[in-house]
Amino acid sequence: MTTPSTPAGPAPVHPPELPRTPPLRLRGRTFDAARPAVMAIINRTPDSFWGGNRHAALDSALEALRGAVAAGADIVDVGGVRAGQEGEVVDAAEELRRVMPFLEAARGEFPELVLSLDTWRSEVAREAATVGLDLVNDTWAGHDPALVHVAAATGAGMVVSHTGGLPPRTDPVAVRYADAEGEDELAVVRDVLRVLAAGAAAAVEAGVPAERVLIDPTLDFGKTTRHSLTVLRHTGDLAALGYPVLQALSRKDFVGETLDLGPDDRLEGTLAATAVAAWLGATVFRAHDVRATRRVVDMVATIRGDRPPRLAVRGEP
């Protein structure tokens, strides 16, 4: 006769082991899992891929700046050149003409605001540093090798990126990743991790303090939609490299191609990707939609247990 087995009790409960990165420190402010940073995008271009962020006129850019600060932006990232190959050719002189008046006005109006410059040119960053630049956002993975040394010499932080070796303003076409381990789905992740680890180490060696080095997998740059989705799922592996992680997800093509939507309709997909990245350890988020992003990352930080609710929890004493 078989004796009935005793039902097992519930499995022990343990706190979730969630990825966390060291804090990012810029202009006396600290950003980490409890205090994620929203980086507002201000494009001083007439041809940005999304019509909602074309601020060729200085008055328009400054109005967008004030709106971003009011909506909860911690960092403002200004760019003077469209990222992709579409649009006009912009030389360094024109890029400076676009970004410098904005940076000067922004620093005067918001002296404590963290200011970032999206550029791959060392001469542009060097001139911009005269207004008190806090971060150099090199979205083209060291194409200008002098750029990191400008950041180090001027005391700015550095965004280290991954573009699969493509030069500035190159759109990815039929991109493939393969290494000694093969051409499997994770080859792109291994390449991103290798390049970002080496780039971050090089930035520190050049003199940028580790607490001011950000790593950015740079989704859509040198990557297909499938690559970008795979790398996003591995944000926790990026966090394990030991540097703060920036995710620039806002209204990007990988969102549009996943959902078959144009730039105007990509907000919800962007916010879903943002929540995933925040849960997996990213702490800085480059965004067009500042208020919505601010609420998402603060909510995720609370769900993760990194920060308390802003108000007393209902029903608690």
Catalytic residues: 252, 286
Residue given tokens 């990825």 in the structure block: 19
Task: Name the pairing type of β-strands 37-43 and 157-161.
Answer: unpaired
Given a contact cutoff of 8 angstroms between Cβ atoms, the answer to whether 187 and 226 are in contact is: no
Sequence-ordered alpha helix ranges (H) in 12-57 = none
CB 153 within 8 A of CB 207: yes
Tell me how far CA of residue 3 lies from CA of 6, 10, 24, 88, 112, in angstroms: 9, 21, 60, 80, 72
The answer to whether residues 225 and 253 touch, using CB atoms and an 8 Å cutoff, is yes
Are residues 247 and 217 in contact, defined by beta-carbon separation less than 8 angstroms?
A: yes
Strand partners, 39: 75, 286
Q: What's the number of CA atoms in the CB half-sphere (13 Å) around residue 161?
A: 30
Look at the block and give the residue holding tokens 């850019």: 61
The DSSP call for residue 245 is: B
